[in-house]
Structure 1
Amino acid sequence: MKRKLLFLERFIYGDGIIPKNITFTVKINGSFTEVALRNALAKIQARHPLLTVGVQEDSKGQPWFVSPMPVPDIPVRILTRTSDEDWMRESEKECQQRFDMQNGPLLRMVWLRSAEVSELIMVCHHCICDGASIVTLYKEMLTLLDQPDLAIGQYETFNTVEDLVPEAILSDKKLQRKGKVTAAILRLFLLFVSGKKQIRWGKDYTVRWKMDKAATAALVRRCKVQHTTMHAALCTAFLLAFRHVRGSKNVKNQVFCPVNLRRYIPEIKDDMLFGFATSTTLSIDKDPMLDFQEQVKRLNNRLSEKLSNLKVYEEIMLNEYLHPVVKKLSQYLGTARGNNDLTFSNMGRLDIPKKFSSFEVEAVHNPILIFKSANPNGIIASTFDEQLNFSFLSNDAYLSYEEASAIRDKAMELLLEGKRVPEAVQLV
């Protein structure tokens, strides 16, 4: 495989030196062998072209995905499991550990092993995979651990932006002019703000908790009855919680939400690896007299309208004009505070089976990623085994651990209709 990185892939890649890793962990009850694990990894590597690549820059500094010959195997680091906390320590360590960016592969595994319980930590560079990609990889890998002789095939991926974006959009003169003007304006802006001091980052932290099965089911029913989405309810709860904890003068009243591109681009299949998403931003009304459910309904309407008006192909095409400013843009985001209170990533119901013939998946821990760029507040939600699972990632130079915990408590109180958090929420 050999192709240029698209703009957003290149933005995530950054300078190739600072790690931009995602870790994702499953806890397994049961046993499997090292041979079976390496066999599973070999098969998923053969299936997905992006698991064969490194990133190499040409003479102009443009990075390319390149498959070296021969392609290195996906590395596995095996450690003795000693406690339920080992996975978190190793995940945070792996977030800071660079890949061999030139030669790849840009995925590795850590196996915390004991006689009856294991954690498998998948570590992936964000430029080749998003959250949906990692769920796909886990589903395939666990299936192959259980059925080593299973054939999972291969697929061809796109090679250029022309393979992804329709010709009618690429050749649109009006859009081409818009792309050039946008790049020029951004270049001037970045020149104007150059020289600002970098943010002095503090300690990274993660607040993790789960909603129990009964509370999760009740929230799902409530959203169905009121004809709103879980996403709208969660966004509303966290925005209101930010306002409650930090005060109306210290919030932006805006949440940044990644949106899975596979919903809009048929060329990217559900089981293909891809490194980035499109996005939208959402806000709540500032009227303090509106109750929670009315806020959810209004935000849900805004969400539906924004999703129906997304122009994904145009966005990808216009972004390609921003390659010349990508480095300065990355530098600027190291100085900016951002226009959002948080990024909220809703992974939904994870398509990972719980029971296999020789083992069982006891838990799936939300991804961990530590990026020093603009606003570090990030909340990830997912559902596995009928339970909502949350992670709140931030840095104490931006938001204190105590504030994050208070935001968690207030958001859960809203979602649980005023019930105290310990009644339905397990802090982990």
Structure 2
Amino acid sequence: MKRKLLFGERMLLGDGTEAFNAVIPFRLRGIFKEEDIQHALGQIQAKHPWLRAIITHDENNIPWFEVPGNHLPIPIRTVMRKGENDWQEESAKEWQTLFNYEEKPLIRFIWIKGEELSDMLFVFHHCLCDGGSAMAFLYEFLQILDHPSAEIGVESPILGIQDVVPAEILNNRRQKLKAKFIGRLAATAIKCIPVSKKAIERKNDYLIHWKFDKETSSELISYCKSQEVTVNTFLSAAVLHAFKKVRGNAAFNKVSCPVDIRRFAPQIKDDHIFAFGLMIVVSANYKINFAENLYAMQEAVERKTAKLNPYITMMVMESAHDALKNFTKLLKHGKSSNDCMFSNLGRIQIPHQYKEFTLDTIFSPSVIGPLGNTTTLVTSTFRGEMDFSFMGSEGYLPYSEALAIRDEVIETVKLQLDPIAVL
């Protein structure tokens, strides 16, 4: 089984010399054997063919996902647990560790082994899948780890754009011409944009982690409901406010927010191994107050989201493979134009109590890659607690400023929730 990488996947893959890795850390309370972990990993590989895949290149140097005839197990690396923050150190280490994807799968597993408490990490190349896919196979892994004979089904994998874009759109002459025209236009424009000969030096990467307790998390969700805005919009506003306050005129007033393609393309199931994403950019109006901004931003988010078209977007990108090199160069060498990427995975629907163990927590994923500004904030909610992973690089955002931005986000949230606390 094999398929060509789509444009976005090729962009994330790069040339193999720079890592673009995502990490899903979680904490389990229980006692485990490595053979049981390996069995669970083998079972999720049996369900998802692309978790067994390597990367091969054809005569035109085009990369393909290919499932080899011989089984290639997910590698396990075990380290002894010393403290609460080991998972952060191992996450940062895994950001930098390249995948030997021509010989091994694009996924590996880290077991930070303790006597009764273990931290575990799924690490995968971002070209393989997104956070939504990762949560699906994490859920399946835990099912098998608890009950080795559990049935998790078999994925019918996506084999190309034809499995995502409906035939009546993909084969429509007008839509094909439209996609090709936009693709050519974009490719030409990218060529004309001046870029520096040298990429910005990334310097040291870092991870800042924090949580809101159940009470604060519940109050935040209730506040958003009362204001008729999403948690995503509220936190985007808080992030933009924090960047402005800490960075002043150096702030761009732009946050990029991924939008789950599954909302628009039902062909992509929750458990599909797939990496394609959609994006909107959110900004604030500093001439009005925070509460007024929430309404204005919510309207803008809904308007931009309604205009998203995953099918045409994919067709445009697939018509522009020859522009990949220029596009990648623009991302790496062009000036940064946004403050950060902000991704909200929402409530994670994975049980915490199992027969053989307890899932104490799922830490929000982290990801760092070589395509420009690495500053990223990811949040998720598990067992009623909102969890945050804030990652970046000194060359784009100094660590001291990142800490100040974190403090400002927390303070902004507390200030907005204060009236509820008083009541």
TM range (shorter): over 0.9
Report the 3-state secondary structure (helix = DSSP H, G, I; strand = E; otherwise coil) of the residue aligned with 2:238. Answer: helix
Q: Tell me, which stretches of 5 or more residues in structure 1 are unaligned? A: 424-428
Instruction: State the distance in 2 between where 1:242 and 1:92 align.
Output: 23
How far off is 1:419 after superposition?
Answer: 7.8
Corresponding residue for 2:402? 404
Contact 1:107/1:125 (CA < 8 Å) preserved in 2? yes
How far off is 1:219 after superposition?
Answer: 0.7
Corresponding residue for 1:340? 338
Instruction: State the distance in 1 between where 2:416 and 2:293 align.
Output: 16
Q: Aligned runs of 1:50-61 on 2, under 5 Å?
A: 50-61=50-61
The AA in structure 2 aligned to 1:197 is: K
The AA in structure 1 aligned to 2:120 is: L
Contact 1:129/1:275 (CA < 8 Å) preserved in 2? yes
Contact 1:242/1:407 (CA < 8 Å) preserved in 2? yes
The AA in structure 2 aligned to 1:338 is: S
How far off is 1:273 after superposition?
Answer: 1.6
How far off is 1:194 after superposition?
Answer: 5.6
How far off is 1:251 after superposition?
Answer: 2.1
Q: Aligned runs of 1:310-321 on 2, under 5 Å?
A: 310-321=308-319
Task: Write the deviation string for residues 119-160 of structure 1: whole angstroms up to 9, x where unpaired.
Answer: 111111111111111111111111111111112121211222
Instruction: State the distance in 1 between where 2:381 and 2:46 align.
Output: 29
Q: Tell me, which stretches of 5 or more residues in structure 2 are unaligned? A: none
Please state if 1:166 is matched with 2:166.
Answer: yes
Corresponding residue for 2:260? 260
Q: Aligned runs of 1:289-308 on 2, under 5 Å?
A: 290-308=288-306
Q: Aligned runs of 1:226-375 on 2, under 5 Å?
A: 226-247=227-248, 249-287=249-287, 290-375=288-373
Contact 2:204/2:394 (CA < 8 Å) preserved in 1? yes
Distance 1:377 1:38, change over 3 A: same
How far off is 1:339 after superposition?
Answer: 2.2
Instruction: State the distance in 1 between where 2:30 and 2:351 align.
Output: 15
TM-score, structure 1 normalization: 0.93
Q: Percent identity?
A: 35
Contact 2:95/2:368 (CA < 8 Å) preserved in 1? yes
Misfit runs of 4+, over 6 Å: none
Task: Write the deviation string for residues 294-337 of structure 1: whole angstroms up to 9, x where unpaired.
Answer: 21121112112222221111111111012111122212211123
Instruction: State the distance in 2 between where 1:123 and 1:406 align.
Output: 29
The AA in structure 2 aligned to 1:102 is: E
Cα RMSD, aligned residues only: 1.9
Instruction: State the distance in 1 between where 2:384 and 2:177 align.
Output: 49
Contact 1:12/1:127 (CA < 8 Å) preserved in 2? yes
Corresponding residue for 2:206? 205
The AA in structure 1 aligned to 2:85 is: E
Report the 3-state secondary structure (helix = DSSP H, G, I; strand = E; otherwise coil) of the residue aligned with 1:346. Answer: strand
Q: Aligned runs of 1:115-134 on 2, under 5 Å?
A: 115-134=115-134
Corresponding residue for 1:100? 100
Report the 3-state secondary structure (helix = DSSP H, G, I; strand = E; otherwise coil) of the residue aligned with 1:416. Answer: helix
Corresponding residue for 2:223? 222
Report the 3-state secondary structure (helix = DSSP H, G, I; strand = E; otherwise coil) of the residue aligned with 2:320. Answer: helix
TM-score, structure 2 normalization: 0.94
Instruction: State the distance in 2 between where 1:282 and 1:124 align.
Output: 28
How far off is 1:276 after superposition?
Answer: 2.6
The AA in structure 2 aligned to 1:240 is: H
Instruction: State the distance in 2 between where 1:418 and 1:130 align.
Output: 32
Instruction: State the distance in 2 between where 1:110 and 1:233 align.
Output: 34
How far off is 1:107 after superposition?
Answer: 0.9
The AA in structure 2 aligned to 1:201 is: R
Instruction: State the distance in 2 between where 1:275 and 1:188 align.
Output: 26
Q: Aligned runs of 1:74-113 on 2, under 5 Å?
A: 74-113=74-113
The AA in structure 2 aligned to 1:266 is: P
Corresponding residue for 1:426? none
Contact 2:88/2:207 (CA < 8 Å) preserved in 1? no
Corresponding residue for 1:7? 7
